[in-house]
Amino acid sequence: MKKLKLRTKLTVDILMFIAFLFNLITGLAFFFGLISGRGGLQFRGERGVLESSIANFGSRNIFSIIHDWSGIIFIILIIIHTILSWKTLVCYFKSAFRNARVAKIKQSCENV
With a pLDDT cut of 70, the percent of the chain lying above it is: 66
Instruction: Give me the mean pLDDT over the 52-57 stretch.
Output: 49
Q: What is the pLDDT of residue 57?
A: 47
Instruction: Identify which has the larger pLDDT, 1 or 89.
Output: 89
| Res. 52 pLDDT band, cuts 50 70 90 | very low
Which secondary structure element, helix H or strand E, spans residue 25, and what is its range? helix 2-31
> In whole angstroms, what is the distance from residue 62 CA to residue 65 CA?
5
Give the residue-averaged pLDDT of 83-87: 92
33-42, 59-68, 88-97: least confident range: 33-42
Contacts of 55 (CB under 8 A, 6+ apart): 34, 35, 36, 63
Q: Kindly list the domain boundaries of the chain, sorted by start residue.
A: 2-38+52-84
C-alpha closest to that of 13 among 68, 77, 85, 90: 77
